[in-house]
Chains A and B, each alone.
Chain A
Amino acid sequence: MSTVGQLALLFIGAALINNILLTRFIGLCPFFGVSGNFETSLGMSLAVVFVMTLASTSTWVVWTFLLEPLGVGEFLYIPAFILIIASLVQFVEMYMRKVSPVLYRAMGIYLPLITTNCAVLATATEAAKPGFFKMNIDLGASLGLGEALIYTLGVSAGFGFALISFAALRERLDIAPVPKVMKGNPMAFITAGLLSLAYVGIAGWFGL
């Protein structure tokens, strides 16, 4: 995996064909939690892309230069990676509040939520030690930093795309004539099912 074409395929495969939200159920909490409103889902998606990219880079560095050479990765990776993500999120939040109030208002309030977003931990782990989770794509034995970054960007873009399109659907559902017991969350699940059906339909394209 090195040419531009292969990297582009990696991106598309991670983003659309093996969308982690709708074909793997990873990161469902924000999917239902913040999708009630289009603006919020936009802010959340931006925050996820941002944090995921930073998190993957740091876990990749820590895994490659620290955990694996020392031979302790097998039983320390869960505490190590989650601690990296939690402290990273905290730092980003503090930094953002100081430096850019506009950006903080747009995505700051979603940052604490991201710590407990399984999509971030899963992607960061997968990028650092591929094949371990068998998450969505067969990534081979190990990734270079560049490939890990493209993969993370792809996954987070797919996450954002699914979240935003789902939020747009839900805003229209609010005014739809839905039976009373199905209003709100139950109907959201049925909609998510239909959306997921569309994504399952394109699974396996380009041999991905």
Chain B
Amino acid sequence: MGDWIKTFKQGLSIENPLTVLMIGLCATLAVSTQVQGALFMGLAVIFVLTMSNAIISAFRKLIPNEVRIPIFIVIIASFVTIVDLTMKAFMPGIYQFLGIWIPLIVVNCAILGRAEAFAYHNKVGLAIADGLGMGVGYWIVIVALAFIRELLGTGKIVMFDATLIGLPSGYAPPGLVLLFPGAFFIFGFMIAITRALGERAEKRRKAVTS
């Protein structure tokens, strides 16, 4: 049980797929113009990551080493197809916004990376914990980035046609934030801030122990 919690926490902090490992960036930067879309993108990734980790881990003794990558990819692709068709049927609006990025979860390096680095060598319970941890870590970063971009870029956060937070009406939103370069700038500053915070925590820990 303790191992599971430890594995889960690693995905959130020191092995966060986005801010630390820097994998699976494409979709993150592209869909983070809208909190609502980012929320569902994150959920889709959590589902695919956890399920594929569980299945790959369950069959790890049967999958031959030489052809493991194609097998992993087919397993992942099946779960992505499930998400793709479900979203298309029940949430057409969000599906349209996410568009290309749902099928492209197949090649999200975060998922294949976890299958290769973790699920293939660990027991099912641990693999599920790792999938959940990595997925939630991904989800937190993508939603945070979308929150900043939507708030600064449009002046308000809209979810399911209701305005949750609005900046004062005198605020003139800079369009750059919603454009592609804005995503790069904001994400760059986000990594710098998380890194600075991490270094400060490290320093404090050292000061306490010494």
The residues of A with any CB-CB pair to B shorter than 8 Å are 22-29, 32-33, 75, 78-79, 82-83, 86-87, 90, 112, 115-118, 120-122, 125, 133-135, 181-182, 185-190, 192-194, 196-197, 200
Contacts A83-B77, A116-B109, A196-B181 hold; do A190 and B188 have CB atoms under 8 A apart? yes
Q: How long is the Cα–Cα vector from A86 to B68 in the complex, in angstroms?
A: 11
Q: How long is the Cα–Cα vector from A181 to B198 in the complex, in angstroms?
A: 11
Minimum Cβ distance to chain B for residue A102 (Å): 25
Contacts A32-B22, A90-B69, A134-B100 hold; do A189 and B188 have CB atoms under 8 A apart? yes
Q: How long is the Cα–Cα vector from A181 to B70 in the complex, in angstroms?
A: 39
Work out how many contacts link A and B, with CB atoms closer than 8 A: 125
What residue of chain B has the Cβ atom nearest to residue A114's Cβ?
B107
Q: Name the one of B22, B81, B187, B189 contacting A79, with C-beta atoms under 8 angstroms.
A: B81
Contacts of A121 in B (CB 8 A): 103-104, 106-107
- CB of B99 within 8 A of CB of A133, answer yes
Contacts A112-B69, A181-B195, A186-B191 hold; do A24 and B30 have CB atoms under 8 A apart? yes
The residues of B with any CB-CB pair to A shorter than 8 Å are 22-27, 29-30, 67, 69-70, 73-74, 77-78, 80-81, 84-85, 99-100, 103-104, 106-109, 112-113, 179-185, 187-189, 191-193, 195-196, 199
Q: How long is the Cα–Cα vector from A161 to B200 in the complex, in angstroms?
A: 39
Minimum Cβ distance to chain B for residue A148 (Å): 18
Minimum Cβ distance to chain A for residue B12 (Å): 19
- CB of A25 within 8 A of CB of B24, answer no
Closest 9 CB pairs of A and B: A189-B188, A193-B184, A186-B192, A79-B77, A25-B30, A197-B181, A193-B181, A28-B26, A133-B100
